[in-house]
Structure 1
């Protein structure tokens, strides 16, 4: 069996994310081959010692693990199964890792097509943005069977600070979508908080500094994502007093914020929803303040 460090790696797509990820593979012992439609993107890699392929088929013919970072589902399908695509030359045992955020259904469908050729396609979307890619600290969520995951884990550690085996093919994408659901809902919540602060005559750039500073200390929303289930907690569960305390603090502060919004004439729909749902979401049920606010609103 080929040692993980001896596998040859290919990288397709040298954009804002792909280039810094591939750059960290330049010293990979098994060698690196790159492909991009733009010669100017490829040139720094060949100057640093990487090989360049003219097309996906040429790259696949000489690589054991192939990373793909392109725009969307259509481009992924074209790279993998299109004319001159990876499957035209990929050898059995090759692993194709898709880092693009695509539909989980696309990942499962392409994996089935690849399996007919003895090739493993895994979905391995990343989180951490361009800054994380430049620092080599990305999180990568891999949907793969155990054997395929074992092949990609070591190459991925060159550019990722966290490599998670999310489950079978499709699981990496589903985890990324759940993560991004939180991300973009939090953007909406940030906008709501800014509206409240602005109406109160505050400097919202200063508020942003406070949020970034304290989230770096507390971990933000991820700080409560420690349980292995979302089921309701029994009162004797060790987590119950911890999360009940979080609920009490949250309901108090949400109530005060909503009262401020009422006085200033600022609608806070996310805040209202959060007060109603916080205790249930934490698994401890609504607290007294949430129940009182609900009765007041329904009166």
Structure 2
């Protein structure tokens, strides 16, 4: 059994923390909204009132918060992990943030006697609930081996991809591919519907060929039913596309499709869809096609 502090009990963090508790670990969670700790408490964990309280006895500190400034605040801010955790604690950042920020936080962690892994995840709410996440891990190989049993409790495909920041770089590539796939699927659905095709049947046969993808399998029902309850919000994908385009520019890499999709995601957000699931990119295709739904 490991003493684990889990900071951030949102759509993804809550089921992940529950899986760790169900695996027999002593998990203490903390979240801005204390109500989000209820599933963890029901699984045998406990809620803390502050980061300091959550991490004081932790061997491992897990972080799952929305953006780079949030991770910086949680780790290096006043009352944060660096000020209150045990020396030599292993910090696992499951958040999706800028690679350069991760590299800098890893440097600060080493100076303070901590170990930091960047371990962003892919799979959305369904993957988190089913402990089927893909986890791309950056950091020291030895720290990865120590953390592997914890990754196994929340994920299915777990790969050490390199040094600090590598996990975030791979996640940025993941988000580029996912956004492009969702946009293409959205366009295909609107195209099929315009011709009166049995769209469910069409997607079934498309899913069995080269056009098949995890995106098609997981998002087709959202699109067919126009139900966009967030599993992964457009607001967050907008943030991730900003990471992709900025990181590509820094290395002189041209991402024309990525840049276009980033603009379409931004448009969805400006049009009020930021709180919806990223499958709601479909609504943007409808707007452009003069077929906007309510």
> What's the TM-score bracket when you normalise by the shorter of the two chains?
0.5 to 0.7
2-structure distance, mates of 1:178, 1:188: 16
Q: Which runs of structure 2 are paired with 1:172-251 in the superposition (5 Å)?
A: 172-194=167-189, 196-198=191-193, 200-214=195-209
Q: How far has the Cα of 1:199 moved from its partner?
A: 5.4
Deviation, 1:144, is 1.2
1:41 is aligned to 36
Q: How far apart, in 2, do the equivalents of 1:45 and 1:128 lie?
A: 20
The answer as to whether partners of 2:93 and 2:119 remain within 8 angstroms in 1 is yes
Cα distance change, pair 220–88 in 1 and its aligned pair in 2 (3 A): closer
CA deviation profile, 1:112-157 (whole Å, cap 9, x unmatched)? 1111111112111111110111111111111111121112111111
Q: Does 1:68 align with 2:63?
A: yes
Select which of 129, 133, 137 maps to 2:128: 133
Answer whether contact 2:135 2:158 (CA < 8 A) is retained: yes
Count of aligned positions = 217
Which of 86-95 and 166-175 deviates more?
Answer: 86-95
> Over aligned residue pairs, what C-alpha RMSD do you find?
2.5
Alignment partners' CA distance in 1, 2:79 and 2:33: 18
**Structure 1 unpaired stretches of 5+:** 1-5, 222-268, 271-299
2:264 corresponding residue in structure 1: none
TM-score under structure 1 length normalisation: 0.66
1:230: which partner in 2? none
- Aligned equivalents of 1:198, 1:58: Cα separation in 2: 54
Q: Deviations over 1:152-198 (max 9, x none)?
A: 11111111111111111111111111112111112232244345545
Q: Structure 2, unaligned stretches of length 5 or more?
A: 216-255, 258-294
- Which of 162, 165, 171 matches 2:157? 162
1:90 pairs, out of 82, 85, 88, with 85
Structure 1 residues 14-23 or 34-43, which shifts more?
34-43
Whether contact under 8 Å (1:57, 1:87) holds in the other structure is no
TM-score after normalising by structure 2: 0.67
